[in-house]
Structure 1
Amino acid sequence: MKKVQNIVLFLSILIGVGLAYISFFNVYQTDDYFWSYTTRKAGLLQSFIDTYTTWGGRYFGYSINMFNPVFYDSNTILPKIYPVFLLLSFIGISALNFKEYFNYSLKESLKKGFLLFFFYTVLLVSLPEHYFWITGSNVYFVPVILSGILLYFFKKYQDTKQKIWFYLSVLFIIILMGSNEILALILEGLLLVSYYQKRNKESLFLVLLGTVFLLACFLAPGNFNRMGEVERGIVKWLKRIALFGADTFYVGLKVIAVLPLFIKVFEEELKKITAQITLKKAVLFWSVSLIPLLFTSYILTSIARQFESILFYFLLTFSLLVYFKFEKIKKFWWISLFIIFLPELKIFPEKYDYFNIDFNGENIMMELVTTDLKEYEREMNERVDIIKNSPQDSVVVDKIKEIPRILYFDEMASEKEQETYVNDQLQKYFNKKYIRTKE
């Protein structure tokens, strides 16, 4: 076990260093400009109201984005340091929980934090949007880190019964319910399971609190405003059923591929947990992952960045079930390790390419080896300078030639193409009537 842990630890540190290096060439993108524009134009309060009523109910995730400093950060410092800060925060919070729940030393806890970071990274559906897009990180990655803090508060309250930890838990539940819908559903499911197991006033209060703020997130006028027309009747329900099956198959397959390695690496922790809970309880916790899968299928959402919380939670809970009955699967850890560094499995046509499975390992290596990141940064900075300093209302710029694989990038439409949201956001931010790329 130690040998395998050391291999994964080495790979995790390499990936972390590689991602930190890539981050030094990161720049602001798309929605970063949008949030800065709306906040400066309408102010924080009005921007919050407009977002909640016309865009969506992520009252915390969207509120963080309103503070995007692109207007003041002329040297693009934040995009370079923010991803590294979040990566270290994830590892640090994970280590804190390992220390609290398993009584490990600081050194051992940090080691476990790095190991968990490895699995979190390889499971990501869209690593660029999750790590390197500030707007996306605030909605999808920051809540995962905050969930780790909430887990720590829960443990401290259970151990000490000091009310301060309970009040902090209440605060973070409110925050997380407004971060993103998927994580909110997982949290609500866990609160329900907690109340089912321990029916006291505090558990009931947390369930009711979570439900109130979950509804505040889901029933936001902006969510209904963004819903498009869908087929009615049997066709709609057939699509929902098919999508639930496809999404669940994708999640299950991706998790199962890394499961032998995960069980081998975290064998000690799984053994301790399974000694304290029953298989029935483990099934109950795992079943919570089906709630967001049912929800995303109902609203006809297929595999995308929203599924990353589901994948991570599915891995953590499903590994318990497998360890109960099929512990020997850990013998195949080397197969998982081999699969992780394979190129993206491109089976589906472009229309459904989001179902192609990728574990990010090969992409990270190729980004470091083949992409001229310095040239990409230069091209992006040059584009911004041209648009910002042009006295004309209409600006046409060169297309970006050095396209990254890991850094988040979405090209705008050209002169002969229909305007996209990227063009629209840049036009608003730079106060231009027309911004396009050359053909």
Structure 2
Amino acid sequence: MKKAQNIVLFLSVLLFIGLAYISRFNVYQTDDYFCSYAARKLGLVQCFIDTYTTWGGRYFGYSLNMFNPVFYDSKNIVPKIYPVFLMLSFIGVSALNFKEYFNYSTKESLKKGFLLFFFYTMLLVSLPEHYFWITGSNIYFVPVILSGILLWFFKKYEDSKQKIWFYLSSLLIIILMGSNEILALIIEGILVLSYYQKRNRENLFLMMLGTAFLLVCFLAPGNFNRMGEVENGMVKWLKRIALLGADTAYVGLKVIAVLPLFIKVFEEDLKKITTQITCKKSALFWYVSFLPLLFTSYILTSIARQFESILFYFLLTSSLLLYFKFERIKRFWWVSLLIVFLPEIKVFPAKYSYFNIDFNGENIVKELLTTDLNEYEREMNERIDNIKKSSQDSVVVDKIKEVPRVLYMDEMASVKEQETYVNDQLQKYFNKKYIRTKE
């Protein structure tokens, strides 16, 4: 166990240092501009109302994005430090929970936090959209960190019975139900199971609170406004069944690939948990993974960045279940270690590229070794400067030639292509009628 832990800890520290270095070249992108523009034009209250009624029900996630500082951050400082701050927050919150639940020292808890960060990063469907795109991080990464804080609050209340921890837990549940639908469904499933296993007034209240605000999120008019026309009848249900199978297969294959290494690294922790919980109870919490998978297939959504909470939760619960039933799988930890650094398996066309299994390791290494990150940052800053300084309503800029693998980059349409959302967002933010790239 120690050998595997030491190897992964070394890789975790290198991973963090590499991502922190890459963050140094991060810039504002796409929705960062639009969120800042909308909040500045409409005001926070009206922007919230318009978003909720026309765009979607993520009342906390979208509200957080309204504070995007691009308008005031002329030096582009926030995109460079925010990803590092969030990664450190994830490691720190993980360490807090290891210290609280397992009574580890601060040093050991931080070590465990770095180890968990390694596995979390390897599982990400879209590393650039999750870590480096500010508006994406606020929707998908920040809620994971807040969920860790919620777990810590639960433990503090369980140990002390002080009402302040219960009230803080209630507040975080309200916040998380409006962060993103996938994590909200996972939390709802956990709250229902917690009440099922321990039927007291506190658990009942939390379950009802979670359900109420889950409905606030799901029943937002904006969710229905964004639904497009789809086939009816049997064709729609066949598509749902196919997507459920494809999404489940992706999640299962990606998690199974790293499970031997995860079980080996966290063997001591899993052993402690198995002395406090039965296999049947662990299976019940494992089943919660299928709730968001059923939902995504029902609304005809294939693998994308929102699946990362499912992958992480599935890894945690599957590792415990397999430790009960098939502990010997840890012997193959070295196979998992090799797998996570394999290149992306490209077998699907561009439309379904998210189904290609990728553990991000190779992409990070290639980014550090081959991408001219200074040139990318220079090109992006030059583009924005040219748009700002132009006195014309129509602006044509150069294409970005040095496109990174890990930093988020979505190019706008050229002069001979139809306008995309990227063009539209920049046009509104910079008050231009026409912005395109050269052919």
In the superposition, the TM-score normalised over structure 1's length comes to 1.00
1:277: how far off? 1.0
- Corresponding residue of 1:199: 199
**1:312-340, CA deviations, whole angstroms, 9 ceiling, x for partnerless residues?**
00000011111111100000000000000
SS in 2 for 1:60: helix
**1:294-326, CA deviations, whole angstroms, 9 ceiling, x for partnerless residues?**
000000000000000000000000111111111
SS in 2 for 1:75: coil
| Whole-Å separation in 2 of the counterparts to 1:339 and 1:385 | 43
| Whole-Å separation in 2 of the counterparts to 1:132 and 1:388 | 23
- Corresponding residue of 2:211: 211
**1:218-262, CA deviations, whole angstroms, 9 ceiling, x for partnerless residues?**
000000000001110000000000100000000000000000000
Task: Establish whether residue 177 from structure 1 lines up as the match of residue 177 from structure 2.
Answer: yes
Q: Counterpart amino acid of 1:64?
A: L
How many equivalent pairs are there?
439
- Corresponding residue of 2:364: 364
- Corresponding residue of 1:265: 265
- Corresponding residue of 1:391: 391
**1:46-95, CA deviations, whole angstroms, 9 ceiling, x for partnerless residues?**
00000000000000000010000101100000000000000000000000
| Whole-Å separation in 2 of the counterparts to 1:26 and 1:411 | 15
SS in 1 for 2:14: helix
Structure 2: where are the runs of 5+ without partners? Answer: none
Q: Counterpart amino acid of 1:216?
A: V
| Whole-Å separation in 2 of the counterparts to 1:278 and 1:209 | 28
Q: Counterpart amino acid of 2:341?
A: F
| Whole-Å separation in 2 of the counterparts to 1:315 and 1:125 | 14
1:344-359 pair list within 5 angstroms: 344-359=344-359
1:350: how far off? 2.2
| Whole-Å separation in 2 of the counterparts to 1:366 and 1:352 | 23
Q: Counterpart amino acid of 1:220?
A: A
- Corresponding residue of 1:73: 73
Task: Establish whether residue 10 from structure 1 lines up as the match of residue 7 from structure 2.
Answer: no
- Corresponding residue of 1:286: 286
SS in 2 for 1:17: helix
| Whole-Å separation in 2 of the counterparts to 1:34 and 1:353 | 26
- Corresponding residue of 2:62: 62
1:274: how far off? 1.1
SS in 1 for 2:45: helix
SS in 1 for 2:71: coil
| Whole-Å separation in 2 of the counterparts to 1:102 and 1:25 | 38
**1:105-163, CA deviations, whole angstroms, 9 ceiling, x for partnerless residues?**
00000000000000000000000000000000000000000000000000000000000
| Whole-Å separation in 2 of the counterparts to 1:49 and 1:348 | 39
The CA RMSD over aligned residues, in Å, is: 0.5
| Whole-Å separation in 1 of the counterparts to 2:200 and 2:331 | 43
| Whole-Å separation in 2 of the counterparts to 1:317 and 1:192 | 16
Q: Counterpart amino acid of 2:360?
A: N
| Whole-Å separation in 1 of the counterparts to 2:159 and 2:201 | 18
Structure 1: where are the runs of 5+ without partners? Answer: none
- Corresponding residue of 2:32: 32
| Whole-Å separation in 2 of the counterparts to 1:134 and 1:197 | 38
Q: Counterpart amino acid of 1:74?
A: S
Task: Establish whether residue 127 from structure 1 lines up as the match of residue 88 from structure 2.
Answer: no
| Whole-Å separation in 2 of the counterparts to 1:431 and 1:233 | 45
Q: Counterpart amino acid of 1:198?
A: K
- Corresponding residue of 1:224: 224
In the superposition, the TM-score normalised over structure 2's length comes to 1.00
Q: Counterpart amino acid of 1:417?
A: E
- Corresponding residue of 1:298: 298
Q: Counterpart amino acid of 2:186?
A: I
Structure 1 segments of 4+ aligned residues over 6 angstroms from their partners = none
SS in 1 for 2:338: helix
